[in-house]
Structure 1
Amino acid sequence: MNSDKTKGIALFILAISQLVMALDYTIIFVAMPSLGNELGFTTNHLQWVVSAYSLTFGGLLLIGGRLSDLLGRRRMFIIAMGLFGLGSLLGGLAESQLMLITARGLQGLGAALLSPATLSLIMSNFKEGKERNRALGIWASMGGVGMSLGLLLGGLLTSYVGWEATFFVNVPIAILVIILAPIVLKESKNLSAAKGFDIAGTISVTLGLLLSVYYLIQAPAEGWFSKSTLPFVMIGVVLLISFVVIEKRTKEPLISFQMFHNRNLTGAALTAFLFSASFGSLYYFLTLYTQGVLEYSAIESGLSFLPLTLSAFVGAKLINKMLSSFGVAGTIGIGMGLGIIGFLLLSRLSVTGSFIEKTPGTVIIGIGQALVFTTMFIAGSTGVSKKEQGVASALISTGQQIGGAIGLAVIMAIISASLESNSSSMEMMLPSDLNSAVHIAFLISAAITLLGILVAFVTLKRPNQINKEEENTNITITH
């Protein structure tokens, strides 16, 4: 376990796991028109192909971190990758809307168990200091890169193989990771933790989030005060309030609210929410633009995202220098600022646009995305004890996943109200109307991103504050 070669393989499977989780959020976007037509989805219901993954991922992350601590990070990593691979297999075999959405939910469950285990394994398999910082940097950067790479790969696979291949591609990766994990990763668990599970808290927060976002998705089509939608959000809100009450009273809470006293963790979770609500929705609406307005094929649409993918790699390379010069708040602020510029450029796309017209905005956004994604995990770990690192990571990832689902639903709702049209009929819009809808989406994303800058500078501590706190509390900054 101590050889550089073995550690290199360990880092490879941990990084590839992070890459696959991020990639699977976006790889489906380019394939959605094809699978939507084949399985009979409307645009409104097609959101659930995205939201089923995001909500299950976000809703179960906290219990995933808890299970990882109690049962062992390596064991949970292997089980989670197995579930993720099974969900991918079922997704590729899906012949109905229900089966596909169920498969996406199973992928989300696997990802929810996988994500906190992956970060904890980095903490236990790599020495504190330069070695661990390098491993964490590579692991986190794979998230930003994966979101961009998914679009390119989705286009290639959908065009040359079929939309089913966007699911099947995960299966051999899952098998390889499951084989290598017991060989190159050492087991770790929180031996001091009580052997308890907060089942009530898990059920209340997951169902509460699911019902609330279901309302946001369906209300624009069926009415905000419709009998078919309003009860869902009312029950959802009650369940989320119940979650808070349960967590305060249970002996073994899913999450201790005292953790939110850590400004960096709170700020990172909020940043992750706003980042995913803005940057995360980019892929959905750019795909609508390229395929619905410009009438690109799946392969042309996928290739049009190549500049975004390459710029994300460039952004990942800049992170260490940016952190040294500007700290976490400054780096996130700059990344979000680049996002605003990119979104404003994209809000000027024309009906007769071209690859060249779209490129400047996507390149700028790609760099900003990589800066924010990696840095928000680094920020969230600051001042958090080693035994709470898994929960801290889960909180940030929860903000990210739920932000993506809610952000997309809210933007769709605003578009529907602004254009006085039914969001479920977007696939029937004329190119000019669809182009206007995409413009609105990018302007909303720019506004959300601006809010992200404010949150970063208000909540995240400056480097001198962190150093002073570290001296006083003797807590090591592990990222």
Structure 2
Amino acid sequence: MSMKNSRWLSLMILCTGFLLIVVDMTIVNVALPSIQKDLGFSQSGLAWVINGYLIAFGGLLLLAGRLGDLFGRKRVYLIGLGIFTAASVLCGLSMNQPMLIAARFIQGIGGAISSAVILAMIVTLFPKPDEQAKAFGVFSFIASAGAAVGLLAGGLITQAVSWHWIFFVNVPIGAVTAVLSARVLASDKGIGIGRGADVLGAVLVTVALMLGVYTIVESSDYGLGSLHTIGFGTLSLALLAAFVARQARGRNPILPLRVFASRNLSTANVVQALMSSAFLGFFFLGSLDLERVLNYGPMAIGLAFLPVALVMGVFSIRFSAQLINRFGPLTVMVAGQVVAVIALAMLGFGPTNAGYALQLMVPLALLGLGGGLTFPSLTIIAMSDSRPDDAGLASGILNTAGQVGGALGLAVLATLAGGRTANLVSGGADIASALAGGYHLAWLVCAGTVVITLALTVVVLRRPAVHVEMQDECLECGAAA
């Protein structure tokens, strides 16, 4: 096998590992009612099937990315994939609430460790910007397709067999991916820890991020202004401040503060957090909208979101690379953000009971187009200024921004939608109309959030320094792989 084809095969293997994680994030949501009925979860207890995963995942991303730089990204990736696969077995075997929540927490650890280094490995595999555009397009396609696959598979497996099998399906795929990864992926030694490991710094940042994610995901129950939310949020920020102070003085910091000297990386992370809050918030609340207002079942919900996944996937894998090569990632990203704003505004101002074709299909397709143009470009801009030995860290920071931003956005949007619904009900509206009113307010807030990212992109971000023409053979070898 030629070196070029070997690199694209490596990309496919990495994307398969990431697909497992993306599918798992959505497949569980569809199975939650069955899990609740089988294991006797309360409504608040059921949330911990999701929250346990999110806290571990969001809390470990940054540290895991840096561990890849220090000890070798292939090694860290394989360890994470192994933990995720083993935890999937435990999830499937769970017969009580504590076991499932604990297994989900372990699964989040594995997901964070493996996914944190993937972007850095892609940058290493494809150092030329022309090839990176294509590679990140494939990566974005996998992410968008995985979300739709999770929704469809969750409904199908839960209805045909049982919820246990949504976890068991990860096992053979994870095992095969691990074997292929060990054989095909190039080994790297990492930069090492010649001056010692900053263990205290690692503990501080992990606990700070876990507390932060915990505060965010629990704020929907306690309220954004509650003593619980403010107290744990303040503690998280205090630990984060202590971590930053330690990194500024340390000889071998986990997070060298020099990475934030890059205007592109720093701003791109803010944009990533805000874009993720809008997109992830929409998908979660959109599922509830389809279920509670339009009375869709699990399979119908998965099918309803297919326009987003298909359009995002097609543009990510087939057109985004050519457009980025022709116009530059900054211009393509601006175009994607504009399209996303239009789509979310159409959803927010649109009718509430006009049916799927008139109400949802066109804006969902436009939202997929906006995402397909924006996210590959954003990744290229964010990683463009990172040093080779900091690529894993930059990848971890970008992933952390997306996870924390998504969790925060979901909490805020759920609170706003719930408040709007309550006001409409108290004013005499029927429950379906009140729910629709709350969700439509959330879509408009999502549109406003993307407008903020558009302003940041235009005013603050700058074009990556290097721009190389796309080579047709890269497209051909990507398709062949």
| TM-score in same-fold range (> 0.5) | yes
Moved over 6 A (4+): none
Structure 1 counterpart of 2:361, from 351, 359, 362:
359
Please, which runs of 5 or more residues in structure 1 have no aligned partner?
A: 422-428, 469-479
Tell me the residue number matched to 1:205.
205
The TM-score, its normalising length taken from structure 2, stands at 0.86
1:271 matched to 2:262? no
Given that 2:54 and 2:213 are in contact with CA atoms closer than 8 Å, whether structure 1 keeps it comes out as: no
Tell me the residue number matched to 1:383.
385
Tell me the residue number matched to 2:431.
430
Q: Following TM superposition, by how much is the alpha carbon of 1:59 offset from its aligned partner in structure 2, in angstroms?
A: 1.9
Tell me the residue number matched to 1:293.
293
Tell me the residue number matched to 2:471.
none
Tell me the residue number matched to 2:334.
333
Paired-residue identity, %: 32
Using a 3 Å threshold, how does the CA distance of structure 1 residues 213 and 139 change in structure 2: closer, same or farther? closer
Amino acid at match of 1:267: T
Given that 1:159 and 1:298 are in contact with CA atoms closer than 8 Å, whether structure 2 keeps it comes out as: no
Superposed CA deviations along residues 313-368 of structure 1, whole A, max 9, x for unmatched, are 22212212321343222222222222222222222352463355321121111121
Using a 3 Å threshold, how does the CA distance of structure 1 residues 142 and 204 change in structure 2: closer, same or farther? same
Mapping 1:314-329, distance limit 5 Å = 314-316=314-316, 317-329=318-330
1:403 matched to 2:405? yes
Using a 3 Å threshold, how does the CA distance of structure 1 residues 220 and 30 change in structure 2: closer, same or farther? closer
Mapping 1:29-428, distance limit 5 Å = 29-41=29-41, 46-125=46-125, 128=128, 134-191=134-191, 194=194, 196-223=196-223, 226=226, 228-316=228-316, 317-347=318-348, 348-351=350-353, 353-354=355-356, 356-420=358-422
Superposed CA deviations along residues 108-165 of structure 1, whole A, max 9, x for unmatched, are 2112211243333334445756556544442343223323433233333333333333
Superposed CA deviations along residues 440-459 of structure 1, whole A, max 9, x for unmatched, are 22121111111111122222
State the superposition RMSD in angstroms: 2.8
Alignment partners' CA distance in 1, 2:466 and 2:184: 34
Using a 3 Å threshold, how does the CA distance of structure 1 residues 431 and 48 change in structure 2: closer, same or farther? farther
Given that 1:259 and 1:265 are in contact with CA atoms closer than 8 Å, whether structure 2 keeps it comes out as: yes
Mapping 1:6-25, distance limit 5 Å = 6-25=6-25
Q: Following TM superposition, by how much is the alpha carbon of 1:195 offset from its aligned partner in structure 2, in angstroms?
A: 5.7
Using a 3 Å threshold, how does the CA distance of structure 1 residues 133 and 436 change in structure 2: closer, same or farther? closer
Given that 2:315 and 2:372 are in contact with CA atoms closer than 8 Å, whether structure 1 keeps it comes out as: yes
Q: Which moved more, 1:244-253 or 1:262-271?
A: 244-253
Alignment partners' CA distance in 2, 1:70 and 1:214: 28
SS of aligned partner of 2:328:
helix
Given that 2:133 and 2:376 are in contact with CA atoms closer than 8 Å, whether structure 1 keeps it comes out as: no
The TM-score, its normalising length taken from structure 1, stands at 0.86
Given that 2:134 and 2:320 are in contact with CA atoms closer than 8 Å, whether structure 1 keeps it comes out as: no
SS of aligned partner of 1:295:
coil
Superposed CA deviations along residues 271-300 of structure 1, whole A, max 9, x for unmatched, are 211111000112211110122222222112
Given that 2:129 and 2:466 are in contact with CA atoms closer than 8 Å, whether structure 1 keeps it comes out as: no
Amino acid at match of 1:94: S
SS of aligned partner of 1:173:
helix
1:462 matched to 2:444? no
Q: Following TM superposition, by how much is the alpha carbon of 1:224 offset from its aligned partner in structure 2, in angstroms?
A: 5.1
Q: Which moved more, 1:114-123 or 1:282-291?
A: 114-123
Given that 2:308 and 2:365 are in contact with CA atoms closer than 8 Å, whether structure 1 keeps it comes out as: yes
SS of aligned partner of 2:117:
helix
Given that 1:148 and 1:312 are in contact with CA atoms closer than 8 Å, whether structure 2 keeps it comes out as: no
Please, which runs of 5 or more residues in structure 2 have no aligned partner?
A: 424-429, 468-481
Given that 1:124 and 1:188 are in contact with CA atoms closer than 8 Å, whether structure 2 keeps it comes out as: no
Amino acid at match of 1:354: Y
Using a 3 Å threshold, how does the CA distance of structure 1 residues 386 and 62 change in structure 2: closer, same or farther? same
Alignment partners' CA distance in 1, 2:118 and 2:66: 13
Q: Following TM superposition, by how much is the alpha carbon of 1:249 offset from its aligned partner in structure 2, in angstroms?
A: 2.2
Superposed CA deviations along residues 398-426 of structure 1, whole A, max 9, x for unmatched, are 111111111111212223343448xxxxx
SS of aligned partner of 2:400:
helix
Tell me the residue number matched to 1:474.
none
